[in-house]
Amino acid sequence: MVKITRRAALAGLAGTVAMPAYLRDASAQAQTELSFWTWRQEDRTQYATLFGEFTQANPSIKIAFQGFEPQNYGSALSTALAAGRGPDVIHIRAYGGTEQFAKAGYLTPLTRANVPEIGNLPAAALGSVSMRSDKQVYAVPFASQTLGLFVNREIFTRLNLKVPETWAELMATCNTIKQTGGGIFPIANGMATAWMVEVFTSIFTSSWHGREFVADMLAGKATFEDPRYVEALGKLLELREHMPTGFAGVDYATAQQLFMSGRAAMFAGGSFEIANFRRQNPKLAMEFHAPPSRTAGAPRLVSLFYDGGYAVNSKSEKAAAALQLVRHMATPAFGTRFSALLGNVSPINGVTITDPMLARVTELNTSASDYIMAVHFRFQEPTGSNLLQGGIQRLMSGQATPAQLAAEITKGIATYHEPFRRG
Amino acid sequence: MTWSRGLWIAALLAPAVLIVSLFVLVPLASAFVFSFYSWNGLARGAWSGLANFNTVLFVEPFASWTRNAFTHNVTVFIAVMIAQNGTAFLIAWLLLKALPGHRIHQVAIFLPVILSSIIIGAMWKLFLNPIFGLVNQSLIALGLGEWAQPWLGQSSTALGALVLVNTWHWLGFPALVFLAGMQRISSDVIEAARLDGATDGQLLRRVIWPLVAPATTVVVVLTFIGSFNWFEMPYVMTGLDGSPAGATDVLGLYFYRTAFGNVTSGLQDFGLGSALAVLMFLFIGIVAGFGALYLRSREVRE
């Protein structure tokens, strides 16, 4: 009895081993398996589809997806790369996130010679994954993110409200919601999650300080102590009475819940929420708008930044296949599929975006200001983000004035940024 | 004879020594080496001597971040000593008295200790939520609505809330250590004191407290190390930034943020991170060492 079973088991085992070998032969050529690492572990199924489509067109290349917890991705990746390992194709974060890996020589430079398709990308997108010193590109940008104002359409219709176009209208709308909304909070955001504080700040200050301030600052003609920026910071204080009870302790997840469950009418957030909100509450009737302008007729500016890109490990033994994949990921065809599947805006020129909400986001991108700290001051410690996030928490709890905060940020950045040291 | 005995001992110790060197000594040594180099992005650059140490200790804003985190560790140590270990001592005393139901209480007090800090942190973060949280909801239900606070969002309450949660989590451990220490005291001694007319208070102060000195040594040293290596609870409850505005920042978070980067605000710097790790190791090692020596001598004296 035992003998027969064992023989049967062996036969079965032999069968399972033989099957893939047979199939492999059928696919004509030797398979190259590329590894791909990302912090977007929740996108596993969508990437499986995207990579499946690539493999269908390029049967010799298969891709193994590995997702990491976002907070630990950087440390996992840097330790692997330092040990001379790591994936063949790397999902990499933009700006300082790219630069620190590129500086260390871990990434293959992408040029028009090895990846001609980078010509499909706008300069600002390529800038987000380049070194500032030599402008060399190190990755194919994958998504742009837009920060703006989410509105709960149902609440706005029920209370007969118009989407606020100016700051004064925003204040009036908030007051109406407070008076007639039956306990609905006008704005869902809180202050307990530091990075979300920066998002919030950018959304409500951009239209106040304007694009000229950013240009002046980058040209070395202004610092964060510029009256335009200080005034913008001061405006944030007016929002406090329209935020949830105990907003100082309201974290990102709570704010999302408040908005998704209809307990708050507006949510200042990024376009990356769209897919997430839809997944969690398919019935939510939401709209995405540019934040209000300072006065009627003045520009309403969303904040724009790039998320990161796909890079090739300079130590990869499968560089040719990896470059082939990255080239594919820079084509409009991939961008179109990417946007359709993942609900994010692909920055590649010639991409078709069918989703009406995403199409609206790309429309808003034409009137955008930089997401200042991430785009310009996240390359050296103390980063602008570091200084701003904690600073705004203190500002909103009354422990610092706008002028003090502006001075602190300027002083912190001045430790490595020459133009801020003058004057 | 002794030679082969030595060989035996060596053979038996070898696996443990190997594991300890591989996973403890080598990383320690490499952190030590890393701290003397400058880092270019993520690659090791040139030898920079004590520059990293100088930066974390004396260059702004790093110096004030270090000071801020260190001060919080000290505060946490003192607060935990009083809130957690003080309560634990009294609870151990009550358990020793074997009042009715003491066995159930003994288990109940120890129960949270076996849960992971991550679970407890996440759970208490929900309890302390300013809108949905159990704590504020209860206060409102009791008509104490004006006491409801965004506990984790205010610099005045955030660290205190973390210490209380930590106390809730760990209370059972020092209580058990103290209880074991008290149970070791010979009943003759206690009875003799009672016959001499000692009250509960006198008995605690004059007899039990000196005689549980070995337990106190263990508790104080472990609390010290735990307070200065504190990480999980603030990480889960207030985030890597030590929100709000660094009010819950401790050396553990600060080290992690510096060495491994905070994706939403900062960059990685192994050099500064390693320098911090070395300083923490030296500080904890030296103070815990001397502290233990002092506490040991106290055990003998009393």
Write down the ipTM of this complex: 0.85
Between residues A24 and A182, the one the model is more confident about: A182
Choice among B40-54, B93-107, B216-230 with the minimum mean pLDDT: B40-54
User: How many CB atoms are closer than 10 A to CB B263?
Assistant: 19
Q: Mind listing the pLDDT tens digit for each residue in B202-238?
A: 888 888 888 899 999 999 999 999 999 999 999 999 9
Q: Which phi and psi (to 5°) does residue A266 adopt?
A: -135, 155
Neighbour tally for A304: CB within 10 Å: 26
CB-based contact B258:B252 (threshold 8 Å): no
Of A76, A83, A81, give the one whose Cα is nearest residue A41.
Answer: A76
Dist CA A80 CA A67 (whole Å): 14
* Substitution target from B129, B135, B243 for chain A, most A beta carbons within 10 A: B243
Nearest chain A CA: its distance from B23 CA (Å):
15
B144: closest CA of chain A, how far (Å)? 15
Record: contact B153-A250, CB cut-off 8 A: yes
Percentage of chain B modeled with pLDDT above 90: 51
Q: Which residue has the tokens 């890996």?
A: A101
pLDDT attached to residue B102: 85
State the nearest Cα–Cα gap between A59 and chain B, in angstroms.
35
Candidate from A192, A195, A383 with C-beta closest to B153 = A192
Question: Helices (DSSP H) in A190-226: which residue ranges?
Answer: 194-218
**pLDDT score, position B26:** 87
Q: Which of the four pLDDT bands, split at 50, 70 and 90, describes residue A169?
A: very high
- A249 with B148: Cβ contact below 8 A: no
In angstroms, the CA B124 to CA B119 distance is: 9
Binning pLDDT at 50, 70 and 90, where does residue A12 land? very low
* Averaged pLDDT for residues B293-299: 87
Strand partners, A38: A67
Whose structure tokens read 């000594």? B25
Preceding amide of A227 cis, omega within 30? no
Which residue, among A107, A104, A106, has the nearest Cα to A115 in the 3D structure? Answer: A107
A273: nearest Cα among A115, A52, A42, A108:
A42
CB count in 10 Å sphere of residue B287: 14
Residue with tokens 């293959």: A108
* pLDDT, mean of residues A150-157: 95
pLDDT at A20: 45
Residue A4 is predicted with a pLDDT of 46
The rounded distance, in Å, linking the Cα atoms of A398 and B153 is 13
Do A296 and A68 contact (CB within 8 A), yes or no? no
Return the pLDDT at A83.
85
Cβ–Cβ < 8 Å for A352, A336 = yes
The gap between the terminal CA atoms of chain A, to the nearest Å, is: 92
Rounded distance, CA A17 to CA A130, Å?
A: 46
Using CB atoms, pick whichever of A39, A78, A249 lies closest to residue B130.
A249
CA B176, CA B91: separation in Å to the nearest integer? 9
Mutate which: B42, B134, B258, vs A, most A CBs within 10 A: B42
Contacts of A393 (CB under 8 A, 6+ apart): A191, A194, A197, A248, B243, B244, B245
- The DSSP letter of residue B268 is -
In this predicted structure, the answer to whether residue A16 has a pLDDT above a threshold of 50 is: no
| Whole-number average pLDDT of chain A | 89
Q: Which of A276, A273, A300 is nearest to A289 (CA)?
A: A300
| Cα–Cα distance for residue pair B94/B110, rounded to 1 Å | 14
Distance CA A306, CA A121 (A): 12
pLDDT over threshold 50, residue A26: no
What was the pLDDT predicted at B48?
84
3-state secondary structure of A289: strand
Task: With residue A287 as reference, give the H or E element that holds it.
Answer: strand A286-289
CA nearest neighbour of A420 among A132, A220, A213: A220
* CA distance linking residue A265 with residue A284, whole number of Å: 12
At A3 the pLDDT is 46
Query: Cα separation of B155 and B254, whole Å?
Result: 17
Checking if the pLDDT of A27 tops 70, the result is no
In this complex, the residue of A82, A194, A399 whose CB is nearest that of residue B265 is A194
Cα distances (Å, whole numbers) of residue A421 to A57, A223, A270, A380: 55, 9, 33, 16
Residue B153 exposed, middle or buried by CB count within 10 Å (0-12, 13-18, 19+): buried
B contact set with A (CB within 8 A): 40-43, 60-62, 125, 128-132, 136, 148-155, 238-241, 243-246, 258-269, 272
Paired strand residues for A166: A293
Provide mean pLDDT across the span A173-182: 93
Dist. CA A336–CA A388, nearest whole Å = 35
Is a pLDDT exceeding 50 seen at residue A23?
no
Share of chain B above pLDDT 70, in %: 98
Question: In which element (H, E) is residue A355 found?
Answer: none
pLDDT beyond 50 at A10: no
CA angle A414, A418, A421 (to 5 degrees): 55
CB contact under 8 A, B265 and A195: yes
State residue A25's pLDDT score.
44
pLDDT for residue A422:
67
Q: How far is CA A268 from CA A233, A264, A287, A375, B243, in A?
A: 16, 11, 12, 19, 20
- Judging contacts by C-beta atoms under 8 Å, the chain B residues touching residue A412 are 61
pLDDT score of A22 more than 60: no
Indicate yes or no: CB of A192 within 8 angstroms of CB of B268: no
* pLDDT tens-digit series, residues A264-285: 999 999 998 998 898 899 999 9
Cα separation, A257 vs B38, in Å, equals 44
Label residue B2 by pLDDT band (50, 70, 90).
confident
